Amino acid sequence: MQIKELLKQSPSEQEVTVKGWVRTKRGQAAVTFIAINDGSTIHNIQAVAEGGLIDEETLKLVSTGACVAVTGKLIASLGSGQAVEVKAEKVVVYGTADETFPMQPKKHSMEFLREKAHLRFRTNTFGAIFRIRHVLAFAVHKYFNDNGFFNLHTPIITASDAEGAGEMFHVTNFDMEKPPRAEDGSIDYSQDFFGRQTSLTVSGQLEGELGALALSKIYTFGPTFRAENSNTTRHLAEFWMIEPEVAFYELEDNMNLAEDFVQTVIKYALENCADDLAFLEKRLLEEEKNKPQNERSELSLIEKLKFVIENQFQRLTYTEAIDILVRSKPHKEKKFQYPVEWGIDLQSEHERYLVEKHFKKPVILTNYPKDIKAFYMKLDDDNKTVRAMDVLFPGIGEIIGGSQREDDYEKLLSRTKEVGIDPENIWWYLETRKFGSAPHAGFGLGFERLVLFVTGMTNIRDVIPFPRTPKSAEF
């Protein structure tokens, strides 16, 4: 039986078997207390081995990190902190772990744990994070299923750069030492596996749109890849993205969907991860104690999550945001590292000022200048801005990016050429604007950024099991 279920049982001396990994062992010859965890919950179950009942040789093999099966009666616990415990009658050691086991019961730095990504699952913190990650993923599928969306599996290998940022990892099966060459000396991709140059996708959006223009409401939830060399606490080279796309939606519907969606999944985590969130909240409070007073957050983790689900996001245009930034104290006092003027791509410091200092709540910025956004966004009537929307979160910055899409064939074609994309490469995308085009909109939520927000962790490398970042793909 899983420990999560066992801990809910009443102690009627029934015989049970617990299997899991030893977190701690303490006590002496007369009585030994073994804390066992199987990952089903943050809580351990305590096994009590009284002297004589379990042979000493076996007990010696029981140490932090070992994997054991303990059989015995489930009894009321005399110790505080747990209702039941197992009075051990039989102990089987599946796998021993000596004192070199790195996850000893003491505080480890996150950097140390990243180097031990194969074992960090066995800590309380990472157990909590990955259970919450699962619950959030489940909540995402539940949300869309409950609201009439179809899950569409878009390709991972692609020949088009959806975001046009040129940050793609190439996919080839050429012998890189001697790829076939064309007469002019360039690499001849027509001889490659797919007969053309291909990459790992940066987004499932373009294919998602094709689905939405028939199924009306679709969403994708898959891995995406970006070869951007940004070594920050919010970027991964491989991350998971959720991309809903809806026919007949305009920008405002898209904002409503984004807000309702993130609020609903966060609420689901609050309702279904209470123990893990309570643990992470306590952990965060400990960390905060080491920070100077003025850097400590005003809200605890759970308060912060409740705040986000109970308050409407602030909506304003990019142009309005620039006005606020220009008139802000840090701008006047030259405290921003980057300049502020209409037309700039907002930096994280600007986004965080708006969210954390000015509005003190999540913000949805809309109608960005077309030059800093992707080619597929619908042009506004002024021909200067596009119907883009970014959702900005405290501590995170951009968590969602989306837009209403250009549905006019001629306008889309000319934007395609303007940004230097060969229309031939995405003829199939353009063609949907020729046959039964419809207003439509969608967005992308970076799943790890959501997990980062909900768990209160500070580095995105700690909310994905095996992070892929520049110079790092060990596990």
Binding site for ligand 4AD (CB under 6 A): 162-163, 203, 205, 226, 228, 235-236, 239, 241, 243, 398-403, 442-444, 446, 448-449
DSSP state string for 312-370: PPEEEEHHHHHHHHHTSHHHHTT--SS---TTPPPPHHHHHIIIIIIISS-EEEE--BG
Contact between 281 and 302 (Cβ < 8 Å) = yes
Contact between 332 and 296 (Cβ < 8 Å) = no
Tell me the closest approach of the beta carbon of residue 170 to ligand 4AD, in angstroms.
Answer: 17
Contact between 85 and 47 (Cβ < 8 Å) = yes
Specify the 3-state DSSP secondary structure of 25.
strand
> How far, CA to CA in Å, does 93 sit from each of 15, 21, 30, 57, 63?
19, 10, 20, 11, 10
> Which residues make Cβ contacts (< 8 Å) with residue 363, sequence separation at least 6?
313, 314, 315, 316, 321, 351, 354, 355, 391, 392
Which of ligand 4AD, Mg ion, none has residue 226 at its interface (CB below 5 to 8 Å by kind)? ligand 4AD
DSSP state string for 27-73: E-SSEEEEEEE-SSSS--EEEEEEBTTB-HHHHHH--TT-EEEEEEE
Contact between 125 and 336 (Cβ < 8 Å) = no
The residue among 162 and 280 lying less far from ligand 4AD, judged by its C-beta, is 162
Which of ligand 4AD, Mg ion, none has residue 461 at its interface (CB below 5 to 8 Å by kind)? none
The residue among 402 and 439 lying less far from ligand 4AD, judged by its C-beta, is 402
Angle in degrees, 0-180, between the axes of helices 274-289 and 301-310, rounded to the nearest 10? 120
Question: Rounded CA gap, 151 and 223, in Å?
Answer: 14
Question: Rounded CA gap, 325 and 371, in Å?
Answer: 20
The residue among 279 and 313 lying less far from ligand 4AD, judged by its C-beta, is 313
Question: Rounded CA gap, 206 and 163, in Å?
Answer: 9
Tell me the closest approach of the beta carbon of residue 390 to Mg ion, in angstroms.
Answer: 6
Which of Mg ion, ligand 4AD, none has residue 378 at its interface (CB below 5 to 8 Å by kind)? none
Task: Check residue 395 and give left, alpha or beta (phi > 0: left; psi -120 to 50: alpha).
Answer: left
Helices and strands in the chain: count of H runs, count of E runs: 14, 16
Take residue 193 and report the two structure tokens written for it: 């596996």
Contact between 406 and 388 (Cβ < 8 Å) = no
